[in-house]
Amino acid sequence: MNRRQFTQLAIASVSLAPFVSVAQALASYEQRKTQAQAVSIKAHKDFMAVDGIKMMGNEKIAMLLYPGFYAADLVNPQFIFNTMMGASIYLVSPTEDLSPVEASGISIVPTHTRSQCPDDLDILFIPGGAAGTLKAMQNEQFIAFIKAKAAKAKYITSVCTGSLLLAKAGLLKGKSATSHWSTLDILAKFGTIAVKKRVVWDGNIVTGGGVTAGIDFGLEILAALRGKQYAEAIQLQAEYDPAPPFNSGSPDKASPFIRDVVRDMFAPLIVDMENDLIG
């Protein structure tokens, strides 16, 4: 090989180097992806083989929307329910159309109208709110719809002040249930045994406390339907490992000043809800 041929070969080698590098990287990616898929398949099989885990199901879950509900009351448990492979979730419109429903500053688009909501529900769920919940309590058609769907539901459930709607429908009389801490006294006036707890079970009635308790609530229902280890896996997937920056998440832990001002901010709403109860 003369000098000219050597130079040409060297130039060709340099020009081809990036393509060789790309080809090697692609081959490495394909190999790693194949290995990763094999690992994932094995993990799924190992998980499905655990006694007590129900990987697939066909649960029907209706989550009722109404103007002014708290979005987080719905979204937190909806995230948990959505991990239930095979389950069907119905975000039910308060009307007979699928117009977006205002929910504490954002809009949620329903997936089904009331007439499309099944009767044979596994879970009937009601989110809470503030002024929106009061208006919903005064809506006779909405309360009648809750009562009708609850008649055949396997689990009748709520988070936060959603339990007031269940109580208004006459579903909590003599039952233990919880609500947002500021409305526990009102809940008791419906003849409910009001319990200050994150999640309360009484037969097929399952209620969660205020807003964030919706995650605890969702995980407990998930464990009941799909198995404890299924729920543990979803808790890990969600990285639900609370470490709040402040120790003021309940009236028992908050400073007296914070507790009192937050309670007093709700005072007009509480009066309106009590007045509605009397009426």
Catalytic residues: 160
Residue 105 CB coordination number (10 Å) = 7
C-alpha–C-alpha distance, residues 247 and 261, integer Å: 16
Query: Which residues, including other chains, have CB under 8 Å from residue 171's CB and lie 6 or more apart?
Result: 146, 147, 150, 156, 205
CB 159 within 8 A of CB 217: yes
Tokens 């009426």 correspond to: 279
- CA–CA distance from 71 to each of 55, 98, 125, 213 (Å)? 28, 17, 13, 13
Asked if residues 145 and 178 have their Cβ atoms less than 8 Å apart, the reply is: no
DSSP H or E run through 206 = strand 205-208
